Amino acid sequence: MVAINLYGIQALADEPFYQGVYINFLWGQLFFILIAWTKWIPIDTRKRVAQGVTIALGAFFLFHLLGSFNSTRGAGIYVFLFGEDAAVALIWPGVALFFSIFWTRVIMAAGIDIDITPEERAREIQRYEAEKEAQKRKLSEEMLSSGRYLEYGELDYPIESIDSYREKGSTTFEDVEFLYRENDIRYFSRIKFHPPKEMILYQENGQWYCQTAGQEPEKVLLPESTIKTEEKLRPFEDDKRAYLKRAIRERLEVPHFVEVPDDIDESKIERYK
């Protein structure tokens, strides 16, 4: 970090005004590092300051990138703001300043991280997981006020081990397990039932439907993130044969309603107890 800043200061030797500005930026960085390493300042305050430095780093990167563009050709934002000679002189010192701020952020993170006790870290992880779970399972106020929960169900399947499903008319979510995809139909297990029930997800005329074994199909809404990446998800979704082979290999329990093809040894399949 010292070498980077010495280079930046030296590179602006012919531009004393901007050299002074650069040095003032360095004093500011030292001030932020001091905040991050001062133990009597609350952790939350130090984290907010560090987040501000991160935002400033990103903003400066974009500004310098746009400012440097075409500066050597006598055009661009830097030429407009500072003049042609200064614009060219600021290009490499600006790069040095970016890396200097980057290392400032790293040093701040180290100061904050060292001061966090194991108990605080555990509480932070617990709070993050609780917020994530609450957000995942929260029925939106918009959904309730509009009455759409009486018309649509909701399904969130990021192709992880446990996904979330809310039946039409219900305000609570349940856990479902994504199994495999065949012929553009996704198969799930509704594990709240004993034994679990099979549920399928399919699209018809642009509308997504879920149908549980023994029940009528119902219209469902998928999260925007799932809809946008639906095509990208396909290569990562097993078909039934690949799913069963993975279940054998990883000793996964398979629902009783999943039929095993003749070319797979059913005796190796572990079923839900």
Radius of gyration of the chain (CA): 28
| CA of residue 16 relative to chain centroid, distance | 43
3-state SS string for 126-191:
HHHHHHHHHHHHCCCHHHHHHCHHHCCEEEECCCCCCEEEECCCCCCCEEEEEEEEECCEEEEEEC
Residue 140 lies in a domain: no
Range of the domain at 20: 1-40
53-80, pLDDT tens digit by residue?
999 989 988 888 888 887 777 777 788 7
- Say if residue 52 is in the same domain as residue 95: yes
Residue 82 lies in a domain: yes
- Say if residue 49 is in the same domain as residue 108: yes
191-218, pLDDT tens digit by residue?
888 889 999 999 998 899 999 999 999 9
Q: What's the token pair of residue 266?
A: 């059913």
Note the pLDDT of residue 138: 60
pLDDT at 127 over 80: no
Record the pTM: 0.50
Query: Into how many domains does the chain fold?
Result: 2
- Say if residue 7 is in the same domain as residue 53: no
